[in-house]
Chain A
Amino acid sequence: MTDRTLPAVLHLDAVTKRYGAVTALDDVHLAVAPGRISTLVGPSGCGKSTLLSVVAGLTAPTAGRVRLGARDLTDVAPERRGVVLVFQEQRLFPFLTAVEDVAFGLRMRGVDRRERTRRAAAMLERVGLAGLEQRRPSELSGGQRQRVALARALVLDPAVLLLDEPLGSLDPHLRDELRDLVVGLQRERELTTVVVTHDREEAVVLGDHLAVLLDGRLHQYATPREVVERPSTAAVARFLGATELLPGRRQGPWVHTAIGRLPAPAAAGGQVEPVGGVEVVLRRDLLRVRSPGSSRVGPSHTGPSDIGPSLTGPSDIGPSHTGPSHTGPTHTGAAAGMGEVTGTLVATRYLGARTRVTVAVDGHELTIDVATGELEGHGIGAPVTVDVPAEAVWTVPREPGG
């Protein structure tokens, strides 16, 4: 369809979509990574499906442009965009067999019967449906229907493939299988692919890039790791599962919060303290819990910023160190080290290899995932010390009014 040597970049420029008083998409700017899978994640009703529909040309944006490379698609009819949307409900044609269904798009383009049947059959074989060419949708399982829908889109060799919750309606064991198939097919073709999902885990595992859409606004578009470890906003952090956001003030290599002085994020060298302060996001899997006074648990997972207990000052509880707002570039990556706070163990929940514990520190509850067995002998109500390494700390701008 298009020159394959350099897949064009799909751009959304200030795309807004309103339905009456409801704003489904609010000034979305996005440059989709060419040749990769981007997942678009957000809670239901956040505008994900509207965004796909706008890109596919089935919904006209209220404002903004959609471009593919240099080509402005905004006013181009859906059938001329080279963009194929696969709906969640698969939408196979009930009056066509699997092979006819896959050949549908080729038929619309005037490819002759023999050629389109050959290509459709080959594509069905590629998605693992050889032998089922003559089946009707009613004679196929949910997973098979999803494969037909994928084959039907891929046989057209689209410039951009849009998948709306492709794994949403499948059983868990089928999901993994189909996810591998989607990734495999995408890699073979280096197809620019946008996958919508409401499942955070799926979004992280499936995507080369991850776009977080909340209430019609695009909050962050980055690699899954970047989004998980360095969320751009408090809303993203909350959506990805952070339970406690602590208001804080940056000061040098430290962030002062209600529960004490914590090391500033080591990676946030260039971060500028926003007006109005920050909120601290703690990664529950990088916090450590131990008995007060005991030596620090061996942190096999921590990086070079973990430089031993000697650098850490005494436990500093309370907001006594809340300093003046620090603006301007902060100190570059000098290892800020380790913070620690003490609190009371208030709950534990067994999750298998990990145990989720809740520690109350000065009225704030920290949720921490520890290796099961690590807290052997600590009952509810026991005093504990929580080690806070720098890489467990991330700051986001404080939400207005928050």
Chain B
Amino acid sequence: MSELGTRPLLPGTPGLNRGGAPGHPAAGHAGSGRSSAVDTTPSDRSTDVEGPARRLAPTLWALLVVVLLLLPFLPLVLASFSRAYFHPQVLPETWSLRAWALVLAPGAGTWAALRDSVVVALAVTAVSLVVAIPAGRVLGTRRFRGRRAVEVLLLLPVLVPGIAVAIGLHVTFLRLGLAGSLPGVVLVHLVPATPYVVLLSAGVFANADLGLEAQARTLGARPWQVAWSVTRPLVAPGLAVAALFGFLVSWGQYATTLVVGGGRVVTLPILLFASAAGGDVAVTAATALVHAAPALALLVVTARVLGRGTATLGGER
């Protein structure tokens, strides 16, 4: 756990680019399994077999990872287009757009929930970055007494269940008039989101060559020019990953939103649990997809942008 302070949670930004599932456990077995298969191949044929196999293997694994990532969504998609879909059946008995029509109807509340989710998640991302950039820089680059203690302290909100935090804060928020408001929800989301963003940011700064800032100064750059022309391009890709984490942590919050929002702030997870409690499988499935799609899209876009970024940012070509 304490390693989190000095190392990014992701294995560097290029990792995101490799098929969308960094550090997937299957990837480890991939190499060893293939090489043992090659070892048993007769040596005269091994070159013929190995060539295409080696070239195809990464593509196949990427495909597998995507399938594993997307497969759980298949039942949801099927369910969302069903009218009647009962247990032993593989495919729905009757197809229908009813659920989607309900969910996407202008007055359905989905749009408002989507808007609130986005607003809250963006606010959480922004505020956590404001905290995380200076804090991460200090944690990642300075050696000071009590650094370990600060790191453990930062992780505590992640370890404590969100609902416990939310119930505890609720009383205070009621007194402050924050309960049931968007700012209140943003504040309670910051509790689990900020630690991730700060620790990721610390890793980004620990890995950045900040000696370049001193170099830029002696080449005639003023402090603000250094920040914009040197520090920003150095840390932007890593901070984008940190921001993505902050966004996704907020995006997935249910219990904290429910307690502090008190039913007046309806984000997508709140809507999702409400429809699940209502028992309409098709509507629940459609709502779940509306909730999952933006997060997935964001993940893919970030991975692509960063992949392109790191390719031009040095590294290999």
Which residues of A are interface residues toward B (Cβ below 8 A)?
A: 56-58, 77-79, 83-85, 87, 89, 91, 93-95, 104-105, 107-109, 136-139, 152-153, 156
Contact = CB atoms under 8 A, between A and B. Distances in A.
Most chain A CB inside 10 Å of its own CB: which residue of B211, B215, B219, B316? B219
7 contacts: A79-B217, A79-B221, A105-B219, A107-B229, A108-B216, A109-B220, A152-B219
A85 B222 contact: no
A91 B209 contact: yes
Contact of B218 (A83, A93, A137): A83
Interface in B205-235: 209, 211-212, 214-222, 225, 229-230, 233-234
A85 B218 contact: yes
Given A57-B218, A138-B315, A108 B225 contact: yes
A138 B314 contact: yes
B220 A108 contact: yes
Given A57-B218, A78-B218, 18 more contacts: A58-B217, A77-B217, A79-B221, A85-B215, A91-B211, A91-B214, A93-B230, A94-B209, A95-B313, A95-B314, A104-B221, A105-B219, A105-B221, A108-B219, A108-B220, A109-B220, A138-B316, A156-B219
A84 B315 CA distance: 28
Interface centre among B229, B234, B314 (most CB of A within 10 A): B314
A91 B225 CA distance: 17
Contacts of A153: 219
- The binding surface of chain B is classed by DSSP as helix
B178 to A, nearest CB: 42
- Count chain B CB atoms within 10 A of each CB in A89, A95, A156 and give the residue with the most: A95
Contacts of B24: none
A85 B212 CA distance: 12
A104 B314 contact: no
Interface in B234-282: 234
Contacts of A84: 218-219
Closest 3 CB pairs of A and B: A105-B219, A91-B215, A94-B314
B218 to A, nearest CB: 4
A104 B219 contact: yes
Contacts of B209: 91, 94
Nearest to B208: A94
A299 B16 CA distance: 74
Given A91-B209, A95-B314, A105 B230 contact: no
B315 to A, nearest CB: 7
A55 B149 CA distance: 38
A58 B214 contact: yes
A79 B218 contact: yes
A317 to B, nearest CB: 58
B76 to A, nearest CB: 41
A95 B220 contact: no
B40 to A, nearest CB: 39
Contact of A137 (B221, B314, B316): B314
A108 B229 contact: yes
A91 B210 CA distance: 10
B214 to A, nearest CB: 5
Nearest to B230: A93
Contacts of A78: 214, 217-218
Contacts of B313: 94-95
B145 interface: no
A104 B218 CA distance: 11
A58 B220 contact: no
Nearest to A94: B314
B317 interface: yes
A107 B314 CA distance: 21
Interface centre among B212, B214, B218, B313 (most CB of A within 10 A): B218
Nearest to B236: A95
Nearest to B313: A95
Contacts of B233: 93, 95
Nearest to A138: B314
Contacts of A95: 233-234, 312-314
A124 to B, nearest CB: 16
A119 to B, nearest CB: 14
A387 to B, nearest CB: 52
Nearest to B233: A95
Nearest to A139: B317
Nearest to A79: B220
Contacts of B225: 108
B142 to A, nearest CB: 15
A109 B221 CA distance: 8
B116 to A, nearest CB: 37
A79 B315 contact: no
A94 B211 CA distance: 12
Contacts of B315: 138
B222 to A, nearest CB: 6
Contacts of B217: 57-58, 77-79
A137 B209 CA distance: 14
A152 B230 CA distance: 15
Contacts of B219: 79, 84, 104-105, 108, 152-153, 156
A79 B222 contact: yes
